[in-house]
Amino acid sequence: MSEPVTDPVAGPLAEIVADVLPADVPEAVIGDVIAELLPAEGPQVLADDPVEAAAAITELVEAATRQVFAPDPLADPVAALTTPAPEPADPATSAAARAGVDIRPVDTHVDVAAAVSVLDGVFAPGAGHHFYPPSLLRNLLAAGAPMLLAWDNEMPVGVVLALPGWTASGQPLVQSGPMAVLPTARGRGVSVALKLAQRAWAIDRGVTEIRWTFDAMAAVNANLNLRRLGATVEAFLPGYEGLRDADSHTPLPYDRLLVAWHLTGTPAVPAEGAGTLVWAVAAARDGLPVLDPTWAAAPAALVTVPADISALRRDDPAAASAWQHAVGAVLQEALAAGWQAGWDPRGAYRLTPPPTH
């Protein structure tokens, strides 16, 4: 966040900004946008001539609220002219209402600043640098990337990024990227609302599949993706993010699961399995993981993960690494052998072997 302007024209300029901008735009977001658009020599240039400064700020603020050029590579231009716009998908609308948010596309510089502020608040708090710089988001928008913001009145509280693309067979695909919800807005279903809005965006463009990866050790993410949304685990990707940053809490690169969210038909639900469940990975009394090597012969297996892997990585990196080794070994072996992975309400992956013929 830039330092506030303290020169004599600050008061009048604030009034001009208030007159130009919609009333529901957060002040913090506008401050970031204006700071970014100001000349490199800084706010002191505003003190030269109040009239010129007022005109300059007016122009800057108007530029900030202009739309970012965002072509839609998955849209059908002919259908757009001949087909009425579809009604919003009921699940997405209902989810947003339950979460108490309004979900809108990112399409102006103000929206970009809002998205950056949410991403920074979740992924880079106090870091002194952006998690994703505004220029990157603007370039993604220029390529037609769908980005959605969740607004709680005038406050941006959640964002999900994505890229349009195509499968190996040439079918349209949405590759979903980072999703962030501010801590003050969690527990309300904002993540579900964002994903369902993303789903509606994709369906409107004839897309039948959304893919993304998530931290295999993150219980909250696994519950959302596999149990609540019904995505299907496609693969285990060890060390997907490469070498960790120097300030990482764990020496290991994070393992990730690749999931596919099929938007047509009934979501695939892994079979419950019959017989006795085996805890392939469970927590011992000392909090470390215990592996049961007989899991591969069981009719179904559970793989527990820590309830808060982020806290464990921060407070006990050695224990976090032990958990990642144990969980990753089982998930990698099971998925490579054709087992299906779902999420069990007991806080564990539920693995079921492939059907026998």
CA dist 235 → 224, 309, 321 (Å): 17, 21, 21
Residues 82 and 201 in one domain: yes
Residues 191 and 229 in one domain: yes
Residues 99 and 42 in one domain: no
Helix (H) or strand (E) run with residue 277 in it: none
The whole-model pTM stands at 0.82
Pairing of β 301-304 and β 278-283: parallel
Residues 93 and 174 in one domain: yes
- Give the integer Cα–Cα distance in Å for 122 and 99: 19
- Render pLDDT for 87-129 as a digit per residue (tens, 0 to 9): 544 789 999 999 999 999 999 999 999 999 999 999 999 888 8
End position of a domain, from candidates 213, 231, 262? 262
338 is a domain residue: yes
272 is a domain residue: no
69 is a domain residue: no
29 is a domain residue: yes
End position of a domain, from candidates 230, 262, 294? 262
Lowest mean pLDDT among 32-46, 122-136, 139-153: 32-46
Residues 41 and 185 in one domain: no
Q: How many domains does the chain have?
A: 3
Q: What percentage of the chain carries pLDDT values higher than 90?
A: 57
Q: How many CB atoms lie within 10 A of CB 149?
A: 23
Question: What residue has token string 């913001």?
Answer: 149
pLDDT confidence of residue 26: 73
- CA 33 distance to own-chain centroid: 22
Residues 122 and 258 in one domain: yes
Residues 109 and 205 in one domain: yes
Residues 26 and 119 in one domain: no
Residues 257 and 285 in one domain: no
Residues pairing with 119 in the sheet: none
Residues 27 and 93 in one domain: no
- Domain holding 19, by residue range, is 10-64
- Render pLDDT for 240-280 as a digit per residue (tens, 0 to 9): 877 665 556 666 778 999 999 999 876 555 555 555 789 99
CB-count burial class (<10 Å; 0-12, 13-18, 19+) for 265? exposed
Residues 59 and 107 in one domain: no
| Distance in Å from the first CA to the final CA of the chain | 61
- Render pLDDT for 35-92 as a digit per residue (tens, 0 to 9): 766 655 555 455 567 777 777 777 777 777 788 877 777 776 555 455 555 554 478 9
Q: Find the CATH number of the domain harbouring 199.
A: 3.40.630.30
154 is a domain residue: yes
Q: How would residue 166 be classed by pLDDT, with cut points 50, 70 and 90?
A: confident
pLDDT confidence of residue 165: 87
Residues 178 and 105 in one domain: yes
Amino acid of residue 176: S
